[in-house]
Chains A and B, each alone.
Chain A
């Protein structure tokens, strides 16, 4: 009994790490800008699709011309819009070095996107590290476009309006990613060993079965968390981020540029999405359903607290383990007792678990205490 239990527990914890990765992206953005970013799942899908498509070696899957034309039209329109804003600022503020640098960066970004797409629609397959680097830059540009085209126009709006805007972004990204890269199911090959490893064969009969890809994912997540923690606590930018999270107006009044901070946060969230997308993609294949894992990360979020990085990690572990354990051990009992047509309780179990936690701690496990005054 102990063997299967431990195996399920470890499997659940490792899946939980992946939930944490997605939840991390949510937390970062919520902490720094108070935006409940529903587009995180779409960003994961977009990043995964980009990497998969760039490393894909099968040129038989080449997309039709209409994909290329529409993607180019959308990109061109977005670039023109961003460029027009940048140009207007350039004219208004004169030609400071900052403005010139920004225009140059934009031009470089446009060239990069053009190059990547031209190449991707050709035949070549890129080595993984080049594809990762290119995707990382694309996520940065995406963050810039979102900040420039959406967030900046919605400053000071209520939380729900910003939330709806991110739903719109999510819709857009889902459609755009599939227009750009097609909606086939791709695979990402990280070159990891496929065979499961057995641990503790001496302790339990048969040992414990563990997927090396999940161990690898756990390693990545751990590294990411440490890096983010150091970034938030020890660097200048991290301090600025925490200041913005605390109080927008006060942060602005001591000279922290809000727009830059948002750009940084969305870029970091994009990079986290890239990590999550690559790992999920390697595990399950890259397909549309990946953008739905955002929904799996939400209970993690309320369990751990919207504003806590460690909360996202611990919450992810609890949810992952709880989900798997409930499916294996609780579902059969429920099926027997109520004559159900199958289990599948993991879809809602995480939410119920989080809800019960919330009844006792409304701010989540590690969230900041909510103090209300009239």
Chain B
């Protein structure tokens, strides 16, 4: 009843090309963003910030990065954790060694750029290797980068076992202190990054990625250069992932070691992309929300039900429920939560008089 597009005419090209052509979509999205900026800081507790909102936003950004590579360009990657580590440690080194650059935006962008460079390097095999062979090959980057940050002392400033810590963070003179500051900074960067990503994937570049994804030989024949297109996808994807990694280190953890970016992180983000929906940005957010919230709920559930359980048992249960839910979701909707969202919107258009 409320979600109608009848009567919304597109009278010029700008109206036709906008990201949300339907008025209700625009209102909804701007409302959500405004609420996130204005209302959430007024009501959120520290627990909500550090355990839910901040991880959700940062991992959403990482999921968007991976979705560009897997969902839009069709190159399966299991090296996300490694690229996040590159972002985090590159940012750390800039922050540590160049005191003039103590501006988190600069630091994070540097982390992203370094990750993009490493991403291009590890994207090179994709020109030769495809499918699951590539997926396993990207694991090479994961293990190599894990090892690199654990063993090369210079990168971690000669700290034992590669654990590093940061403090005294600034953005253009704004001192980032409590969880609310960190949340607002992350939110701002994620909103900007999402707009950039959206415009990339709906433009010429995104089309070329999708052409490569759907059939690379055919794409090559109609004039997309695979080398340039694939490496660009690796670079852009790694850039987002690297920024997310730097944020994870600086704003979520504060002090971290290479273990924070191990293979499980890679799988976690791949789960987000798949459960959210391949080739969908809104799906990346939904997948991240699902993956972040499920363990939190599972942890709380026995307490709410009044059942007393050992922590080991809860962690086993978490494994089981998580695995079962993934399988269940894949069976019910292989195209992810984004598809459910689209179906719901379609239903809403006709509600309450479906024909």
Contacts and interface: CB of A to CB of B under 8 A. Distances in A.
Interface of A: 36, 64, 66-67, 70, 74, 149-150, 153-154, 157-161, 163-165, 167-176, 178-179, 183, 295, 298-299, 301-302, 306, 338-345, 347-348, 351-352, 354-355, 358-359, 362-364, 370, 372-374
B129 interface: yes
A159 B133 CA distance: 12
A70 B334 contact: no
Nearest to B215: A374
Contact of B147 (A64, A167, A306, A345): A345
Which interface residue of B70, B310, B324 has the most chain A CB atoms within 10 A? B324
Nearest to A36: B132
B319 interface: yes
Contact of B327 (A168, A354, A359, A364): A168
Given A339-B153, A358-B125, A298 B136 contact: yes
Interface string B154-166: 1000000110000
Given A67-B313, A153-B331, A167 B267 contact: yes
5 contacts: A163-B135, A165-B330, A168-B322, A299-B136, A351-B136
Contacts, number: 162
B218 interface: yes
A42 B313 CA distance: 18
Interface string B77-104: 0000000000000000000000000000
B274 A66 contact: no
B129 A358 contact: yes
Nearest to B332: A153
B323 A170 contact: yes
Given A175-B323, A298-B139, A348 B133 contact: no
B217 interface: yes
Contacts of B153: 339-341
A345 to B, nearest CB: 7
Contacts of A74: 320
Contacts of A161: 274, 330, 334
Contact of B151 (A36, A163, A342, A373): A342
Given A74-B320, A183-B312, A348-B144, A362 B133 contact: yes
B327 A172 contact: yes
Contacts of A36: 132, 135
Contact of A362 (B130, B146, B318): B130
Given A154-B331, A175-B316, A354-B140, A168 B215 contact: no
B274 A347 contact: no
Interface in B319-355: 319-327, 330-331, 334
A352 B270 CA distance: 22
Q: On chain B, which size bracket covers the interface?
A: 35 or more
B165 to A, nearest CB: 18
Contact of A175 (B129, B274, B317): B317
A374 B217 contact: yes
A171 B263 contact: no
B326 A168 contact: yes
Interface in B287-336: 309-310, 312-313, 315-327, 330-331, 334
A161 B76 CA distance: 12
A36 B327 CA distance: 15
Contacts of A342: 151
Given A150-B327, A173-B323, A374-B221, A352 B151 contact: no
B29 interface: no
Given A170-B323, A351-B136, 20 more contacts: A66-B313, A164-B271, A171-B319, A172-B322, A176-B316, A176-B320, A178-B316, A179-B317, A340-B152, A341-B150, A341-B153, A343-B151, A344-B150, A348-B146, A351-B137, A352-B144, A354-B140, A358-B129, A358-B137, A359-B125
A172 B316 CA distance: 9
A178 B330 CA distance: 24
A347 to B, nearest CB: 5
